[in-house]
C-alpha cells in the first residue's frame, strides 16, 4: 500500500492481509458475545445439539437483529473512542482521516453504516470489501471512501531525510 503524505503527517495504508487478520479477531469477539447472549437470554429449547438450540434461539428470539446491532455498535463505539477495535489494536492498525488526523464521530458513523454493504455477499462474508480494499490505491473499502477515512499502520513510517538518532547521517 502507499504511504500518503499530508501537510501534518505520513499515513501508511494497512495491507489487506493485516486488515483481514484484524477483522477475523473482531468477528470472533462478536460471535462469542452473540453466543453468550443467546445462551443466557434465549428461550428454552428441547434437548438436542447445542448448535441446533443456539440457531433456534437466535432466529426465534430476534437474536439476528441483536447480533447485527451488537456488531455495528462494537465497531462504532471502539473506533469513535480510540480509532481502533481490539482486532486493529492487536494487529497494529488504526482508523484515521485521510489527512492523518483522528477520525471524527461522523466519519466513523458513515464507515459503520456501510459495513453491511462491504460485507456482501454474505455467503462469502466481506468479499466485496476485501476486493475493494485490495484494488483501491489507498486500501480503502467503500465505507472508508465515503467517510474520508483510511485504515493505517499504528506505527508511522520513518521520515526520509530525517536526522539519524545514532548521530550518523
What confidence tens digit (pLDDT) does each residue in 69-104 have? 889 999 999 999 999 999 999 999 999 999 999 999
**What pLDDT is attached to residue 121?**
87
**What pLDDT is attached to residue 155?**
72
**What pLDDT is attached to residue 64?**
73
Using DSSP, state whether 125 is helix, strand or coil.
Answer: coil
**What pLDDT is attached to residue 159?**
58
Cα 13 from Cα 16, distance rounded (Å)? 9
Whether 143 contacts 130, CB under 8 Å: no
Whether 152 contacts 14, CB under 8 Å: yes
**What pLDDT is attached to residue 124?**
85
pTM: 0.76
CA distances from 16 to 22, 120, 134 (A): 10, 17, 6
For the chain, list residues with pLDDT below 50. 5-7, 169
Cα 120 from Cα 137, distance rounded (Å)? 21
Q: What angle do CA 96, 101, 102 make, to 5 degrees?
A: 60
Cα 31 from Cα 71, distance rounded (Å)? 9
Please give the torsion angle defined by the CA atoms of residues 51, 28, 118 and 72, in that order, rounded to the nearest 10 degrees. Answer: 90
**What pLDDT is attached to residue 7?**
46
Cα 113 from Cα 141, distance rounded (Å)? 12
**What pLDDT is attached to residue 39?**
75
Amino acid at each position: 500500500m502507499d504511504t500518503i503524505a499530508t501537510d501534518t503527517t505520513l499515513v501508511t495504508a494497512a495491507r489487506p492481509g493485516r486488515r483481514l487478520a484484524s477483522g477475523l479477531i473482531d468477528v470472533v469477539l462478536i460471535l462469542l458475545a452473540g453466543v453468550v447472549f443467546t445462551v443466557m437470554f434465549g428461550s428454552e429449547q428441547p434437548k438436542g445439539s447445542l448448535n441446533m438450540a443456539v440457531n433456534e434461539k437466535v432466529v426465534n428470539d430476534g437474536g439476528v437483529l441483536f447480533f447485527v446491532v451488537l456488531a455495528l455498535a462494537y465497531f462504532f463505539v471502539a473506533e469513535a473512542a480510540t480509532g481502533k477495535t481490539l482486532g486493529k489494536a492487536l494487529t497494529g492498525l488504526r482508523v484515521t482521516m485521510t489527512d492523518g488526523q483522528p477520525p471524527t464521530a461522523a466519519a466513523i458513523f458513515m464507515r459503520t453504516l456501510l459495513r453491511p454493504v462491504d460485507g456482501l455477499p454474505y455467503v462469502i462474508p466481506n468479499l466485496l470489501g476485501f476486493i475493494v480494499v485490495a484494488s483501491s490505491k489507498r486500501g480503502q473499502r467503500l465505507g472508508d471512501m465515503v467517510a474520508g477515512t483510511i485504515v493505517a499502520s499504528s506505527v508511522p513510517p520513518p521520515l526520509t531525510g530525517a536526522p539519524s538518532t545514532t548521530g550518523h547521517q
